[in-house]
Structure 1
């Protein structure tokens, strides 16, 4: 297998991180700490807070910010789960200053413990509304936010944020974050790690130059680009991979893929940091609670406000390229993985079936993946 070019391109190995990536990463951290973030749009600005951190004091503080009326932004799937007839990506509702914070949380999170109020009139969803949901998703929080328009132009809003020690981020930076954040990788470590299923194994760690979460390639044997390489793209699953959860087949798929690659003599398993089909561990546990109430795995994500599948595979294609792999035999039942690798320049010459016997605990989950997720039988 070819090794990454140590000289590399200036863009890839210089360590230079786009300012937009730095700004969004800092905004993610502030949002996860429950702080306000100032969002700058093309012509308007607002302060945003995650609904997960909306207590009495936080809500009262937002009502005192000078500007327009408070509003909540939720996703289209969440709005439809609340009975709103909409096909929009995000939906915005005006909030009364007298509304209780727990009621606001009920609009965003079905676990709030109180019924959500009826919703009628929606407001126009501008770039600030879309950006607030994008930021919440990047932060692995409930995909919703409370906004308070500032009534200031961007330059004045940025100065307002600086005076109050708040971070300001432009919505265009949020839009570029997906393209600039996690896909510019460099190899940072490699070690020989004998595995139960494959003793001749190296684990290679790749780190985004943005400083984001590391991604892992598990290389078995010595794959050669002269012929298609047996590859598995595996999204991490703490409960299935590590704890042996019976709710899914992730542990079976992980260990089964390593065994299949070892039996083939060589191959690569790309282990992607995309827990819960990209919604994060906490939201996955919330989805489990909804599944216990009768929702399937996709409907539960929708009730929480997420799309059926929030994952991306561009980072997987980049890892394969850096390993010198451009043609693969892909262990998968998911047609989207085939389509995604193809879009990003990796040729899938064969789909290798990767299915295991269901259990009483995961049968409905597996049936939903075929019924709703269009997985191959």
Structure 2
């Protein structure tokens, strides 16, 4: 058995490196590049990167649309960095907080020649690190020696493609009884992905019969709503209403999935809130940041339910995407149980946007 880290372990390292502003080396298709997340990049490190070659900025097509930049590669745009571009210019380009104050960012030169595979992988890695989806890439040669000499994490496109899109196996770490307000017959299970990402939790009420459809709720973590009681969303009231209904029926499973802000992370969620203060709705804010409407992976919930022995569910949701994902993962959804709680004047636009733009059901 080798002591060398597996691809899962190197991906975990890469996420940590990117969050700290440390470059990662990507190789594939006969090319190699140094990759740094713009959010964590400094002027000093940018100057060092320029010593290796000409930097290119990779942004998603969503962000490119806001900037009126051409996304020749479909889902992303490669922007040539001017020779005098400093971090102030870069941050203004990728962080939309000052878009309305400084609307003109260009002219921007979008590249169209050559493959964009490394750039696409770089954006996927930065997203996985819960950073703004923008990366600077510098083409390099002798990638192996460069990584070894500088103690940098090296990843190949083949490894990333096979691993990032795959659902990580879940380990059932531990469970214990936790008496709850909703039910004294509560048990909390901790599930840990093998890829080193956040733990997820299953709150089991009573002793649901594994041979019958279980009343289940897939609830994405919402620090502001669940913990602080934010009025901007309906998450906290939905969480408590779901547990209360399970308690009243005597059985159920609430999956608490750590996919804050529809999968973009708490910091980016706060950036989206800041954009909402400027008049954008929740979907528009996500797009201006460079994200899709919803970046969550509901396969996680299906996998946990299967590990717990369930084959069918009565799913508490207003989101048809959750139903489709459950069914696509082999779980039978025998009933959709509507869940309405927490509407107030502060979140009326948010709820209307979810219905109009994300297809949420009444």
Same fold (TM > 0.5): yes
In the alignment, which residue of structure 2 is the partner of 1:304? Answer: 289
Partners of 1:129 and 1:46 in 2: how far apart? 9
Structure-1-length-normalised TM-score? 0.90
* Mean CA deviation greater in 184-193 or 231-240: 184-193
Aligned-residue RMSD, C-alpha = 1.8
| Deviations 1:237-264 (CA, angstroms, capped at 9, x unpaired) | 0010011011000001100100111112
In the alignment, which residue of structure 2 is the partner of 1:131? Answer: 121
* Mean CA deviation greater in 17-26 or 284-293: 17-26
Partners of 1:218 and 1:210 in 2: how far apart? 22
Partners of 2:196 and 2:33 in 1: how far apart? 27
**Equivalent of residue 44 in structure 1, options 31, 41, 44:** 31
**Equivalent of residue 349 in structure 2, options 364, 373, 376:** 364
* Kept after mapping to 2: 8 A contact 1:194/1:201: yes
| Deviations 1:2-53 (CA, angstroms, capped at 9, x unpaired) | xxxxxxxxxxxxxx99822111111111111111111112210000111112
* Kept after mapping to 2: 8 A contact 1:134/1:174: no
In the alignment, which residue of structure 2 is the partner of 1:6? Answer: none
What is the Cα deviation at residue 183 of structure 1? 2.7
User: Aligned with 1:372: secondary structure?
Assistant: helix
The answer to whether structure 1 residue 61 and structure 2 residue 48 are counterparts is yes
In the alignment, which residue of structure 2 is the partner of 1:146? Answer: 136
Partners of 1:23 and 1:110 in 2: how far apart? 31
* Kept after mapping to 2: 8 A contact 1:183/1:318: no
**Equivalent of residue 90 in structure 1, options 60, 76, 89:** 76
Q: List gaps (5 residues or longer) in structure 1.
A: 1-15
User: Aligned with 1:148: secondary structure?
Assistant: strand
In the alignment, which residue of structure 1 is the partner of 2:145? Answer: 159
| Deviations 1:206-264 (CA, angstroms, capped at 9, x unpaired) | 11233332110000011002221100000000010011011000001100100111112
The answer to whether structure 1 residue 224 and structure 2 residue 209 are counterparts is yes
In the alignment, which residue of structure 2 is the partner of 1:5? Answer: none
In the alignment, which residue of structure 2 is the partner of 1:171? Answer: 157
| Deviations 1:179-198 (CA, angstroms, capped at 9, x unpaired) | 55x63112111111111112
Q: Structure 2 vs 1, CA of residues 17 and 189 (structure 1 numbering), >3 Å: closer, same or farther?
A: farther
In the alignment, which residue of structure 2 is the partner of 1:9? Answer: none
Partners of 1:340 and 1:254 in 2: how far apart? 20
**Equivalent of residue 101 in structure 1, options 87, 101, 104:** 87
1:1-377 matched pairs, under 5 angstroms: 19-65=6-52, 67=53, 69-84=54-69, 86=71, 88-111=74-97, 115=103, 116-124=105-113, 126-150=116-140, 152=141, 156-180=142-166, 183-377=168-362
* Kept after mapping to 1: 8 A contact 2:69/2:77: no
Partners of 1:210 and 1:307 in 2: how far apart? 23
User: Aligned with 1:222: secondary structure?
Assistant: coil
Partners of 1:137 and 1:94 in 2: how far apart? 21
Partners of 2:164 and 2:286 in 1: how far apart? 21
* Kept after mapping to 1: 8 A contact 2:9/2:196: no
Q: Structure 2 vs 1, CA of residues 30 and 114 (structure 1 numbering), >3 Å: closer, same or farther?
A: farther
What is the Cα deviation at residue 178 of structure 1? 3.0
Partners of 2:302 and 2:5 in 1: how far apart? 21
Structure-2-length-normalised TM-score? 0.94
Q: List gaps (5 residues or longer) in structure 2.
A: none
Partners of 1:326 and 1:288 in 2: how far apart? 38
* Kept after mapping to 2: 8 A contact 1:70/1:97: no
